[in-house]
Structure 1
Amino acid sequence: MLCRSTWSLLRRIYYLSFEIMSDLLSSPYGLSVRRNGSCLSTETDCGPTWSPFHACCPNGTKCPKGQGNVKCCPSDADCTELVDNTHCANSTANVYKAKGYFCCSSDTSAFMNKDTSFVGCTDDISDLDDTVSLLAIRYHGT
């Protein structure tokens, strides 16, 4: 049986973890979606990642400068500490992991270049060759 002080400590830990989790940003904020070519008309183009891929965020969100893996934020301030790497700003996209987490739209597959570790998304895996590895979905979109 747990003593009263132990229950009190457990209760405080629970409430503290709830407060921390409530500070995390949810959609439309989160990891950007990588697109081969250009972003959709409903997205903000945050610039190229690895040519021809672009980081795309939902319209109305910002892409702060200087991020290694683009996060979609509510302002021009870097929100990396507030973004949970298990979700994309576009809630229908899937999360993948190579060296870091990134997102691809749900109708594409993710891959990593074996030599450079650069990542991308493709509509057709038959176009890929032996210089890349396919990546598994880490977290499914809704």
Structure 2
Amino acid sequence: MSEMLRFFTVTVLGVVLDIGIAYGLHEIAGVSLALAAVMGFVCAASFNYVLHQLWSFQSGSRSLSLNRASKYGLVAGLTLLARVSVVAVLAEYLAGQYALLILICGAGVSFFVNFTLSKLFVFDDALSQERAS
């Protein structure tokens, strides 16, 4: 299985976890939707980091690292910014119609942003090997 396919698989699981936690907190526990969305995103980003580190990126170090987790947190924040930006622009352009299509476009853009930044900045085996020597 290719690195991008493993990354995609983990990302899909993370999105399901993200939405499930946010929806459950909002509907069952009465947490505000905005706070529930943040909590779901943080849980999913943590889940994604662990699986990406241990499974998605097969080359380089496979152990968990606070340094890489911090970098992944930064990448997750930039990914969220990319997603929200795409959604905001498309929602404005399409006058709020086609909400599902807008969300899918935002998720698609954020997938490629997350993969690229994760590969180059967080899980780069050349950087890991350089620091190890």
Shorter chain as normaliser: what TM range?
A: under 0.3
Q: Given the two structures, how large is their TM-score scaled by the length of structure 1?
A: 0.24
Which structure is richer in relative contact order (CA contacts within 8 A, separation 6 or more)?
2
